Amino acid sequence: MYKIILILSALVLSGCSDRLVRVMPYEKEYFAQEKMSLSPIAERAEQEGHIFLIREASAGGESAFQGGCGCR
């Protein structure tokens, strides 16, 4: 009997776990707010990017296209 209860609980919980852990797409209203972005101030993000490029000598290193080696 205990086995059945255990298996049933495991099944039900595994079904629910996705909901418990994941934020569903329709629940992302607060995440969509500007203040939640990693760089909420666009001007500052641009400046930070520029400093990053100088410091790392890696023009284009922030994108997936070319760069990163500093040899461009």
Partner 1 sequence: MKKVLLVALFLCANVFAAPQIGDNVTDFKLPNLYNLNQELSSTDFKGNVILLNLWASWCGGCKEEMPLFVELQEEFKESNFKILLSSIDKDPQSAISFLNGVDQNRVLNSFYDKEKTLPKAYKCMGMPSSYLIDANGKLVDIFIGSIDEDSLAKLKIKIKSLLGK
CB of 13 to partner 1, least distance (A): 10
Our finding on whether 63 is near partner 1 (CB under 8 A) is: no
Sites for partner 1 among residues 23-62 (CB under 8 A): 24-29, 32-33
CB of 14 to partner 1, least distance (A): 8
Please answer whether residues 58 and 68 qualify as being in contact, where contact means their C-beta atoms are separated by less than 8 angstroms: yes
Task: List, as one string, the DSSP characters of 33-69.
Answer: SGGGSSS--HHHHHHHHHHHHHHHT-TTTTSSSS-SS
What residues line the site for partner 1 (CB under 8 A)? 4, 7-8, 11-12, 15, 24-29, 32-33
